[in-house]
Amino acid sequence: MADPAGLAPPRGAQDITGLVLAGGLGQRMGREKGLQPFGGQPLAARALQRLRGQTGLQAVNANREWAAYTALGAPVWPDAEPAQALGPLAGVLSGLQRASTPWLLTVPCDVPCFPLDLAARLSAGLVQAQTRGPHAMAVVRAWAPHDDALLQWDLAPVHPPEPPEGPAPRQPVFALLHRSLAEDLAQWLAGGGRKVGAWMARHPSVEVTFEAAHTPAWAFANANTLPALRALENRPGLTEG
């Protein structure tokens, strides 16, 4: 468990490092996912650009194509054991171990339109939760249309996909994490743990809901295949926003 001492919420962007998670195998994409173009730039470059207004520092977690990722102008932090393919938590651990700021904001590379106020809203959630005690992480809850919904949307361009009824699901790779979590995460991975949600359940967390009524349908849309990525890219105005 993280030590509750020193878990002061971020005071601003200067307390946060933004990390783009691009270390996965991208098997459904069939190629290096973070380097696929979206609106004229690689997905990882777009994510870095969206983080620059929200975080003081930015980096990319990647395990292949180091030269291409380095050319994006941010540090490239591989997993400790890239060949083991331990999943997104290995990238999160790399960020927690390397970040020089007290907080790390993680985002996946395949969600090109994540909100520009993501860091601010997660930070505000931590501030509001202080009355219940210190928290070492804040996590997003939001509806996220996946590949099938994006492809259907491409066939019916007027109306975006409708979110299902009920509470918005957790989006655990969109998280604001205190670097004191690094030791516990390292032990979790060494013990065979892989699931992001299961690890997060070990720690008190703040959940910040991005309500569908006030959040664009595409804000947390992730594309795991090239057709889904192209369908998302074809939406008018999305490549600029």
pLDDT digits (tens, 9 = 90+) for 78-135: 987 776 777 899 999 999 999 999 999 999 999 999 999 999 999 999 999 988 888 9
pLDDT, tens only, 31-78: 789 999 999 999 999 999 999 989 999 999 999 899 999 999 999 999
pTM: 0.91
Cβ partners under 8 Å of residue 161, min gap 6: 145, 149, 150, 152, 153, 217
Q: Which residue ranges are tagged as binding site for Mg(2+)?
A: 110
Report the distance separating Cα 214 and Cα 236, nearest Å.
19
What dihedral do alpha carbons 45, 9, 175, 235 form, nearest 10°?
A: -50
Q: Which architecture characterizes domain 13-139+169-211 according to CATH?
A: Alpha-Beta Complex (3.90)
Of the candidates 110, 105, 35, 20, the residue with the CA atom closest to the CA atom of residue 69: 35
Q: Where along the chain do its domains lie?
A: 13-139+169-211
> For 131-165, how does the pLDDT look when each residue is reduced to its tens digit (9 = 90+)?
888 899 999 999 888 777 777 766 665 566 666 67
Q: Which two tokens stand for residue 120?
A: 């601010």
Known binding residues: 21-23, 33, 61, 79, 110
Annotated binding residues for GTP, as ranges? 21-23, 33, 61, 79, 110
- The 3-class SS string of 42-71 reads EHHHHHHHHHHCCCCEEEEECCCCHHHHHC
Spatial distance between the Cα atoms of 130 and 223, rounded to a whole number of angstroms: 35
Look up tokens 């590379």; give the residue: 109
